[in-house]
Homo-oligomer: A and B are copies of this chain.
Amino acid sequence: MAMQAGLGRRGPAEAGRMEVLNAAATVFMERGFTATSVDDIAEVLGSTKGRIYHYYRSKADIFLDVLTLSMLDLLDRIRPIAERRDLPPDERLHAAARMHAVVMMTQSARSRVAVQGTEMHLMQEAGTKQRRVLQAFVDMRDEYEQYFADIVADGIREGIFRDVPPRLAAKPILGALNWINMWYRPRPDSDIDKIADEFATFVVNGLRPFD
């Protein structure tokens, strides 16, 4: 036990495991899944493979854990925002988009890897257990996207957003925000808050009617 992916919602794993996880996330973020070797991860850890394979059965299992934790983190952050029914939909969407943008810019490796999750199809030949974890990730991503779609739907109902299929409308919103991790690199003088504000305004206004 404690050897497979899917710690998922079952609480914090032991410390050694988390160290491996974080080191792996760093490298996965930089090079992607395939281009990352287990030796690369070990190097970041300042150890050898032995340590990694003590905690994880395979490279894919590590990757899946990174994905899982990232999505759980994002879900934890979006829920309190989605529940703020006191805010009008445009302000709620602004808050949600802002949060997402900030996470893209500030979160250490982990939260960024989730975006790259596209590479997952590399593991389609993987075993049943891995496919189950992968499906769990996809489900969480859909759930996350649905939060945005729901806010959009609210805004349409109230007449402050254009009438577009909410689920489709969520795509360019999350696209504009997720894309941040393709170009943004932390710099001493980069103003994360300003960028997040501007991007949040951009996606909210994108849904507003014109004329």
> In this assembly, does A76 line the interface, its C-beta being within 8 Å of a C-beta of chain B?
no
Closest to A203 in B: B206
Q: Provide the residues of chain B in CB contact with A33, threshold 8 Å.
A: 35
Question: Given the known A-B contacts A198-B168, A205-B210, are A121 and B180 also in contact in the complex, defined by CB atoms under 8 Å?
Answer: no
Residue interface bits A157-201, CB-to-B below 8 A is 1, else 0:
000001010001101111111111011000000000001001101
> In this assembly, does A122 line the interface, its C-beta being within 8 Å of a C-beta of chain B?
yes
Contact check, A179 vs B174: say whether CB atoms are below 8 A apart. yes
Closest to A145 in B: B183
Contact check, B182 vs A118: say whether CB atoms are below 8 A apart. yes
> In this assembly, does A202 line the interface, its C-beta being within 8 Å of a C-beta of chain B?
yes
Contact check, B180 vs A177: say whether CB atoms are below 8 A apart. no
Interface centre among A168, A206, A207 (most CB of B within 10 A): A206
Q: How far is the CB of A90 from chain B (nearest CB, A)?
A: 9
Q: Once the chains are docked, how many angstroms separate the CA of A31 from the CA of B32?
A: 12
Q: Once the chains are docked, how many angstroms separate the CA of A172 from the CA of B162?
A: 19
Contact check, A119 vs B205: say whether CB atoms are below 8 A apart. no
Contact check, A179 vs B183: say whether CB atoms are below 8 A apart. no
Contact check, A199 vs B179: say whether CB atoms are below 8 A apart. no
Mind listing 27 A-B residue pairs with CB under 8 Å? Answer: A32-B32, A34-B34, A35-B122, A118-B182, A162-B205, A168-B195, A169-B198, A171-B179, A172-B176, A172-B177, A172-B179, A172-B199, A172-B203, A173-B176, A174-B179, A175-B175, A175-B179, A175-B182, A176-B176, A176-B206, A179-B179, A202-B206, A203-B206, A205-B206, A205-B208, A206-B206, A208-B208
